[in-house]
Amino acid sequence: MKFRVERDILTEAVTWVARGLPARPPVPVLAGVLIDARDTGEITLSAFDYETSARTTVPAEVAEAGTVLVLGRLLADIARNLPNKPIDIETDGNKVEVTCGSVHYSLLQMPVAEYPTLPSSPTPTGTVEGTVFTEAVGQVAIAADRGDTLPILTGVRVEVDGDTMTLLATDRYRLAMRELTWQPTASDQNAVALIPARTLSETAKTLGAVANVDIALGDAAGGDGLVGFDAGQRHMTSRLLDGDYPKVAKIFPSSSETEAVVGTHELVEAVKRMALVAERNTPVRLRFSEGQVGIEAGTGDDAQASEVIEATVHGPDLEIAFNPAYLLDGLGALGRQFARLAFTAPLKPALITGQDTIEEPADTSYRYVLQPVRLAG
């Protein structure tokens, strides 16, 4: 095998493919990136850890076709640190020679024969705008569980019904849901998939920034527990989580007693300031009354802080407390100038939505439900 490739092209490609390689692979070959050079004037770089696969194709001057397996993270580190000149890569016995200007590396080949067969690219079931997909996943994945007590809650539930896609995640303390429009290949398309939140987040960030994203769900993904993503020359698959996701939609409040509209940035900054004196696992308290919301943290002999900001409040006065990190996650995901907070009672879940002006109705395409914290005493 022998080919020449531009430094920036190789760096971007190998960095993207190698980013998900396991730090401690169960078998050594899974730390490798597979490079396939073809006479058509392109090379394909692939990585696979039995859970997720990544593959991208880039142009290159191929003098001799062939396939080689090398340590992925090492090759990515080398490529990033090479001078901005074309890179020549060729095999020599059991070595892979990497040359860029006067810089030369000699890497050990890994056994290609021991590398697992990569999943094939599934047939897309629809397409979603890349930036919309990235935003939606970011808004929902924040609510997925980061522990391993209930593995099923570490996923994002993705459901498609015709041209509507709904993403849902919860860790039992908060719940996030986003609805968006996509372009299915069939008008009666219906499918449900539970995708690991970490994998989905990384996929949305790296693919959504490139182009529109083709997604394969259900039978189109092979029917064997896989989901597929394609954007430009980048292709990914992920194994789905097994199990039935809890029926959490009933948690969304259907009515409210008190509602407040407040500037999102102002509320975020105030909560951050109050959280500075909130001990670990202690809440910030919000007091809603006519024209304002007071935010407080700290009690007794501990450090204390308070602040009052303007708010448009409808309904009875209300005092409620939240985990500040969870509250900031939801507010930060709104992407709107104003936040609307709706409450039924101090100990009932609160609904947070966003809007661009004080007067307009809330945009319910994104909803974040947060369980309050019971105040001592």
Read off the pTM.
0.90
Confidence of residue 377 (pLDDT cuts 50, 70, 90): low
* Structure confidence at residue 122 as a pLDDT band (50, 70, 90): confident
Structural contact between residues 45 and 35, judged by C-beta atoms closer than 8 angstroms: yes
- Please write the tens of the pLDDT for every residue from 23-52: 889 899 999 999 999 999 999 999 999 999
What percentage of the chain has pLDDT greater than the value 90? 78
Q: What strand order describes the sheet that includes 190-196? A: 190-196, 155-161, 164-170, 174-181, 363-370, 350-355, 338-343, 258-263, 312-314
Lowest-pLDDT choice from 85-94, 167-176, 238-247, 346-355 = 238-247
CA distance 158 to 167: 5
Check residue 300 and give its pLDDT. Answer: 72
Residue 220 has pLDDT above 70, yes or no: no
Checking if the pLDDT of 334 tops 80, the result is yes
- Over the stretch 128-149, which tens digit does the pLDDT of each residue have? 999 999 999 999 999 999 987 8
On the question of pLDDT at 77 being above 60, the answer is yes
Report pLDDT for 123.
Answer: 85
227-273 pLDDT, tens per residue?
999 998 999 999 999 888 988 877 888 889 999 999 999 999 999 99
Q: Set out the domains of the chain in order of their start, with CATH numbers.
A: 2-114 (3.10.150.10), 126-249 (3.10.150.10), 252-370 (3.10.150.10)
pLDDT-above-70 percentage for the chain: 98
Residue 303, pLDDT above cutoff 90: no
Unique residue bearing structure tokens 């809007």: 355
Instruction: Measure the CA–CA gap between 38 and 334, rounded to whole angstroms.
Output: 46
Q: Count of CB atoms within 10 A of residue 319's CB?
A: 14
Mean pLDDT value across the chain: 93
pLDDT of 223 > 60? The answer is no
pLDDT, tens digit, 9 for 90 and up, residues 96-121 = 999 999 999 999 999 999 999 998 87
Task: Look at residues 285, 284, 267, 264 and name the one whose alpha carbon lies nearest to residue 275.
Answer: 284
